[in-house]
Structures are given as structure tokens and as C-alpha cells.
A = this chain, B = another copy of it.
Amino acid sequence: MDYVVSDRVKTLKPSAIREIFKYAADPSVVSLSAGNPAPEAFPVDAVREISARILQENSIGALQYSVTEGYPPLRRAIWDYMQKKYNVGTDADDILITSGAQQVMDLLTKSTVNEGDTVICEAPSFIGSLNTFRSYNAKLCGIPLEEDGMNLESLENALKNEKNVRFIYIIANFQNPSGVTTSLEKRRAIYELAKKYNTIILEDNPYGELRISGEDIPCIKSFDTDGIVVYAGSFSKILSPGMRIGYAIAPKPVLQKMVVCKQGEDVHTNSWAQMVAHTFMTEYDFEGHLASLRDIYRKKAAYCMELLDKYLVPTGVTYHKIEGGLFIWCRLPENAKISMTEFCRMAVLRKVCVVPGNAFLTDETEECDCFRINFSTPSDEQLEKGIKLLGELAGEVL
């Protein structure tokens, strides 16, 4: 039989990262290509304890159908937390629990983007989200990312000239893959531009709680007196990604359409996970847990940068120093004798995996001299082994 494939997914390939992730399952390969939280970052004892209690005291609640909007106590707990800590959410907003934050990208695209409409994003940006936008046949328009966020002139040009821009996708804190944090000035400027051009901002903030140095910068959503920002939050990096819990805080008219789309996708998010997240947030030392995560990642990031300084910087590779998140963005020297793609391919042959930077571009065939390293998943030993291997390779071939 000739299988018909819809236009929207015709060109869509499996995410390069997830493909690499499978390859990296080979235990002899050092994987610096994942984005998994460190295993020691999971509050295993708390989850075990909470889960036992839920399945004892409210087992039917955990096993029965629930409402699409999400477990009401969890919705309230997140709402209160985001209000108090980050000034996020107004009377014009509401909250929806999603099956991971990835589903926020999916639902907003599904409910607002017609095929051929434009989504503006940072260049580079998170491949998972780009693929979601692509899967609805959105036209992607990448805005060059600078040290302090998107280039504002390019952004305004895009808003002015691109057809049917539906939203601007931004990871303002410790961006994946670049590690860039958008400055307060640029956050305000981006908000004003979105307002001026009547466009929604999709602010994706999976790493916001993982700041390891410097001061928190207000979320764009905290300026949102005009009802133009959809905020995507996630428990993947602060509790557990396997639970698949994310959420959207968004203007009510937008959120209502997202709820209708979620009904058609998966009815509601796993109830057990929502109940565990709720109890963990409200009855455990959630702030203490976040502080311990920051300690874990502060140490791992510092060690990773130390290793880069030792093994890669002497070969001419440079990298962007980070204040949080899970990734470091490395750049080959200008006069490198081989391409970044070739470098990554050779790295795999030497049993170390990184993600080629072009995977994060709106057009993967564009030139790119960067690659992404993850330091949260590997152990310190693996990290040293991997970066040393990269350094040896760089010393020989660059």
C-alpha cells in the first residue's frame, strides 16, 4: 500500500537529539548530548513516600478520569507559587496542566497557527519546540541571538515584514542550546515590540529555577498587563521529566482553545503525577529542594567549565560562560581546518557524543560552527573522559 503522509509532517524528521540519544545508549559512548537532569537531582524518597500515601488515601482519585484543565489543587499551588515568587499571572489569565511543557508549544501552535503562518524564534533555539512548530507547517523565522538576547532590529524587521506572525518563541533564561540569558532591557523591549505588532510571546522557562550565579531577572510574563504572553512552565528539570508535568499560564481566551485541543490529544495529564507534584510543592521543602538542585548544578557546571578551560580552550575552541541551565555552547576556532559537522562525526567515532549546532537552526542546512555540551547527565568521570576525548580530537584536527 502507498501510505499517504500529511503535508504538515512530510518533511519532519525524528529529532536529531533523540536519535543521538538512542545511539548514545551504547554504554561505551560518553554522551554529552542529552538534556536529562542529573539522577541525583530526583527527590526519590519524597516521591516514594508521597506516592504511597496517595495510593492509600486517594487511590480512586489517582486512577479515575479527571478534568482536562488539570488537578485543581495542583493548578492552585502552581498559581500561588508563580504569583508570589515571580509575579506571574493576572485576573485575565488562567492555568492549564499539560503532559510536559512540550505540550504547551504543541497546543499553542495547534490553536493559533494556520499552515504557512509564521513563528519567530531565537536562532539557535530548542530543537524540540522547533519540530513542534514545524509539525503544524509553521514557517520558522530565526532571529540572531546575541550575548544578551535576540537582535532587536532583526526582530522588529521580522514582525514588520513576515506574514501572519502568530507568536515569538523565547527561552529567556539559560537558553537551550546557547546558554544565553536575555537581559531585562531586552525582555522589556521584546514585550513592547510584541505589543506594538499585536503578537503573542511564548515564554518557555524550563530552567528558570536553575540559576547558579547572578540575580534572577523578571519573567516577561511578569510585565504582561496586556494579555499577550503565554508562559510555559515545567517540572521536568525540578522534579522529574518521566512524570511529564508542565503547565501554561495564559490569557483566558487563548487558554480555553488550548484546553479544547488538549481534550482531543490526551484528555488529561496522568493523575498520579499531578497529585505527586502537588504534595511535593505544598507539603515538602520545595524551596530547599530547589536550592539543593542549584548546588548540584553549580558544582557540575563549574567542573565542566574547568574541563573545557583545560582541554578545549587551548585548542582554540571557545564557549559561552553560563549562569544556569544544563548546557554549554562551544564554538570551533575561526580558522578550523574541518567543519563542525565533521568534528562531531569524528567525535562519535572516538566514542563521545555532542549535538551539532545546526540541529538547533530553523534551517538545518545552514552553516554553523558550534556544538552543544550537556553537563547534567554524565557523571564527573564521564564528563572528564568525554571532554578530554574532545580536546584530543580538537588538538589533532582543528
B51 touches A110 (CB 8 A): no
Q: Which of B4, B131, B227 contacts A166 (CB 8 A)?
A: B4
Encode A93-133 as 1/0 by CB contact (under 8 A) with B.
00000111011011000111111010000000000100110
Residues in A55-103 with C-beta less than 8 Å from chain B: 55-56, 59-68, 98-100, 102-103
A interface size (C-beta, 8 A): 88
* Whole-angstrom CA separation of A58 from B240 in the bound complex: 14
Q: Is A173's beta carbon under 8 Å from chain B? A: no
Q: Which of B56, B103, B114, B240 contacts A265 (CB 8 A)?
A: B103
Q: Is A226's beta carbon under 8 Å from chain B? A: yes
- Please tell me how many copies of the chain the complex holds: 2
B102 touches A266 (CB 8 A): yes
Residues in A1-23 with C-beta less than 8 Å from chain B: 1-9, 12-15, 18, 21-22
Q: Is A254's beta carbon under 8 Å from chain B? A: yes
Q: Which of B21, B44, B105, B266 contacts A100 (CB 8 A)?
A: B266
CB-defined contacts of A288 to chain B, threshold 8 Å: none
CB-defined contacts of A227 to chain B, threshold 8 Å: 1
CB-defined contacts of A253 to chain B, threshold 8 Å: 3
Q: Which of B1, B61, B102, B105 contacts A226 (CB 8 A)?
A: B1
CB-defined contacts of A14 to chain B, threshold 8 Å: 259-260, 263
CB-defined contacts of A115 to chain B, threshold 8 Å: 115
Shortest beta-carbon distance from A275 to chain B in Å: 9
Would A102 and B267 be within 8 Å (CB), given that A3-B251, A5-B111 are in contact?
yes
**Can you list 13 contacts pairing A with B, beta carbon distance less than 8 Å?**
A3-B112, A5-B257, A8-B114, A12-B257, A34-B65, A36-B65, A37-B64, A44-B59, A64-B242, A99-B265, A131-B264, A243-B272, A244-B268
> Besides the contacts A243-B271, A244-B269, what 8 more A-B pairs have beta carbons closer than 8 Å?
A5-B257, A18-B263, A21-B67, A44-B59, A51-B55, A52-B52, A131-B260, A266-B266
